[in-house]
Structure 1
Amino acid sequence: MSVIRSVVEGLGSYLPERVLKNAELAQKVDTSDDWIVQRTGIRERHIAAEGELTSDLAVHAAERALADAGRTVADIDLIVVATTTPDDTFPSTAVTVQRKLGMTHGAAFDIQAVCSGFIYGLSTADAMIRAGVARRVLLIGAETFSRLLDWNDRSTCVLFGDGAAAVVLAGEAQPGTREDRGVLTTHLRSDGRHREKLYVDGGPSSSERVGKVHMEGREVFRHAVGMITDVVEDAYRVTGYSSDDIDWFVPHQANVRIIDGSAQKLGIAEAKVVKTVDRHGNTSAASIPLALDVAVKDGRIARGDLILLDAMGGGFTWGSALVRW
């Protein structure tokens, strides 16, 4: 019996022009290029220009994804933007993106799951497509995370960057086997008891202001490597796949030690792991689609490959997805 799968039709990304290298950061805080690279794997990150908004980054990425898919906004039924750094308290950044793209039909909304945002958005878009609510979804991960940083705090300011990436997802009839193209399964988790380990101390209800990032780095590392196991095992259980079957592992790009630790725990060979954290830093909800775009454009990810995605973010939230390209 055939089923509807959410297939990736197009992919696009955008990075702000300004590149902030470790050496420049070392002139502002007590750090060095060697210290940052050794502990995080990050060498540089992109920083949005003054007046360059999250929606601006999202629109650039969306236009490139639409062009890659050979589609226009007339073909899109729904826009979902995963972001922690919206332009405004309201309306949603997705609605702003909708306006800037000239789209006057359909619907648009944001998803806030911090670094897990793209996985949460992918799961939501897939559910909407499979339910027949939307035929084609524009899913965007976009962040101007640099605006949440305390640039005097070397434990956080070296980690994050800005950027956006988007995918066009379309419903296609597939045979209904694990060999289908598209999103095969997604699994989401959260545990609010860990809020104090990674959070921003600000918001309309609590402080009437935008705060800064606070993080317990060692605790985040410990939980990040441990928590991804359950959602990946759930994906394997549902599909019958194992780590041996994975062609490419595209995790959230937070820290190279977390990426390597996760791959080792899952039994995935290093040669199958896509890493872009050295060039992008942690771009939160944008990191997975940015890494996907790099690996597709350079030819590593090809049609028919089985891709494992996973992420963990503040909250804590975490999730996984298995996608056949």
Structure 2
Amino acid sequence: MNVRITGTGSFIPSEIETNEDFHQHQFLNEDGSPFKQNTDIIIKKFKSITGIRERRYAKQHHNASDLAFFAAEKAIADANINPEELDYIIFAHNFGDVKHNTIQSDILPSLASRVKHSLRIKNPKCVAYDILFGCPGWAEGVIQANAFIKAGIAKKCLVIGGETLSRVVDKYDRDSMIYSDGAGATIIEASNDEGGIITHETATFTYDEAYYLYFGKSNNQELCKDTRYIKMFGRKIYEFALTNVPLAMKACLDKSNIDIKDLKKIFIHQANEKMDEAIVERFYKLYNQEMPEGIMPMNIHKFGNSSVATIPTLFDMVSKGEVENQNIQKGDIIMFASVGAGMNINAIVYKY
């Protein structure tokens, strides 16, 4: 028995926020002092490092669970299954539902329960729960679904990654330009067909790294100090990722006994264009290989960093021919890899 992705779906919000829209922002240092460079220079440097030109924000009346529901409907239709057959709904997010112009996260009931409700699933044996695992949450949800199916306690699972990061950013922090909203969903099934999940690898680093991403106060010292926003130590994360993610990817590939030359695509968390390229380059150098051209699809330029949603949305788009000069064929060996808050890392080797 194999465990395969039989359906994919994504929801990309229609509201576009371009880099030019940030020209009126007043970016401040952590101590509240203004930057020496003007906003135009800050934005140009940001684009050269991250590759992000624009990002998507959810409509005011949509929350993360709504985006997830839209993506889930598409994945269920793509897999051509009856939602009542689902054994698990696993929803990876980090901040719950944060309504527009509010500061409080709402995770009661769980977002997975909300999606199940929206899908109008009556079956009580369809278990719905959330996981908080940083940006690697969707991949970890897939790993959990794989374990349930391999153990014989599930046959069909819906795994979702969804987030509305635009609701938890500090507009006075230049890092706010990174984040975006979106949702991706996948149906994971037991199958007698060839292909599916081959190996996986997960690690959590907390001794020094636990708070590289954290909730902190605004850079604007005049705002309420008790209101928290997503914050990060960017340089520490960059160095951590370049050291540890290639090693996790190698450990995962080595367990599969597949030659790196047979790897057709790497779907890596869309965090930062330069960082992602450096990670994959270092991964290939561990095998004394050069990074092949086109191995790493990217959509961060248009959609920004939507955390848990980046890999499933990118995978959905590539599998449906919606990313220029990128495609995957039946039988291709691909890899999913991610890094994020925790600090967590995971990777999956998969035969498409």
TM-score (norm 2): 0.85
AA in 1 matched with 2:76: L
Aligned to 1:39: 49
Distance 1:249 1:51 in 2: 35
| Aligned CA-pair RMSD | 1.6
Aligned to 2:13: 16
Cα offset for 1:199? Answer: 1.2
AA in 2 matched with 1:153: D
SS in 2 for 1:247: strand
Distance 1:44 1:277 in 2: 8
Structure 1 residues 136, 120: closer, same or farther in 2, change over 3 A?
same
AA in 2 matched with 1:309: F
AA in 2 matched with 1:289: P
Aligned 8 A contact 1:129 1:170 in 2 = yes
Structure 1 residues 234, 49: closer, same or farther in 2, change over 3 A?
same
Distance 2:247 2:280 in 1: 14
Aligned to 1:157: 176
Q: Which structure would you say has the larger Rg?
A: 2
Cα offset for 1:34? Answer: 2.5
What percentage of residue pairs aligned between the two structures are identical? 29
Q: Confirm whether residue 145 of structure 1 aligns to residue 165 of structure 2.
A: yes
AA in 2 matched with 1:188: T
SS in 2 for 1:272: coil
Match 1:229 to one of 239, 246, 257: 246
Match 1:190 to one of 204, 210, 233: 204
Q: Confirm whether residue 127 of structure 1 aligns to residue 124 of structure 2.
A: no
Match 1:101 to one of 96, 119, 122: 119
Cα offset for 1:292? Answer: 0.5
AA in 2 matched with 1:198: L
Cα offset for 1:210? Answer: 6.3
Distance 1:148 1:296 in 2: 31
Query: What's the CA shift string for 1:212-246, capped at 9, x where partnerless?
Result: 11111111111112111222122122111132111
Structure 1, 109-118 or 228-237: larger mean CA deviation:
228-237
Match 2:190 to one of 162, 171, 179: 171
AA in 1 matched with 2:151: A
Query: What's the CA shift string for 1:124-163, capped at 9, x where partnerless?
Result: 0110111111100111100011111001111x11111000
Name the one with the larger helix percent: 1
Distance 2:88 2:308 in 1: 18
SS in 2 for 1:309: strand
Match 1:113 to one of 108, 111, 133: 133
Aligned 8 A contact 2:250 2:283 in 1 = no
Match 1:84 to one of 65, 83, 94: 94
Counting only pairs closer than 5 Å after superposition, residues 301-316 of structure 1 correspond to structure 2 as 301-316=328-343
AA in 1 matched with 2:308: A
Aligned to 1:279: 302
- Give the length in aligned residue pairs: 310
Distance 2:151 2:128 in 1: 17
Aligned 8 A contact 2:51 2:272 in 1 = yes
Distance 1:164 1:152 in 2: 26
Distance 1:195 1:210 in 2: 21
Structure 1 residues 261, 300: closer, same or farther in 2, change over 3 A?
same
**Which structure 2 segments of 5+ residues have no match?**
28-38, 98-105, 218-225, 285-290
**Which structure 1 segments of 5+ residues have no match?**
175-179, 203-208
| Over 3 Å off, 4+ runs | 29-33
TM-score (norm 1): 0.91
Aligned to 1:66: 76
Aligned 8 A contact 1:74 1:103 in 2 = yes
